[in-house]
Amino acid sequence: MRTGILIVGSLLWDRRREREAWRQSRLALDRAVHVQVPIRYGRRSQTRGNTFVMTLALDSPLGQGVLVPCRTSLLDVPALRVEAEELWKAEQPGAEPGSIAASWGCVGVLFRDKPAPGDWSRAWAAHFRQKASPVLPVDSDGLLAIPWPAVGGQAADVDLILGIATKAEATRPRPEDIADAWIDQDQGHERYFFENVRHGPRTSEDPLIWMRIEERRPSWIQAGDYAETVAALRRELHSRV
Whether the Cβ atoms of residue 196 and residue 232 lie closer than 8 Å to each other: no
Residue 136 CB burial class (10 angstroms; 0-12, 13-18, ≥19):
middle
Residues 6+ apart with CB under 8 A from 208: 175, 176
Which amino acid, residue 89?
A: K
Distances from the Cα of 5 to the Cα of 29, 61, 68, 209, angstroms? 11, 21, 5, 27
Parse the chain into domains and list their residue ranges: 3-166, 175-240
pLDDT the model gives residue 115: 83
Whether the Cβ atoms of residue 135 and residue 165 lie closer than 8 Å to each other: yes
Whether the Cβ atoms of residue 71 and residue 27 lie closer than 8 Å to each other: yes
Q: pLDDT tens for the chain, 241 residues: list them.
A: 999 999 999 999 999 999 999 999 999 999 999 999 999 999 999 999 999 999 999 988 999 999 999 999 999 999 999 999 999 999 999 999 999 999 999 999 999 998 888 899 999 999 999 999 999 999 999 999 999 999 999 999 999 999 999 999 999 999 999 999 999 999 999 999 999 999 999 999 999 999 999 999 999 998 889 999 999 999 998 887 5
C-alpha span between 92 and 110 (Å, rounded): 21
Instruction: Give this prediction's pTM.
Output: 0.96
C-alpha span between 53 and 78 (Å, rounded): 31
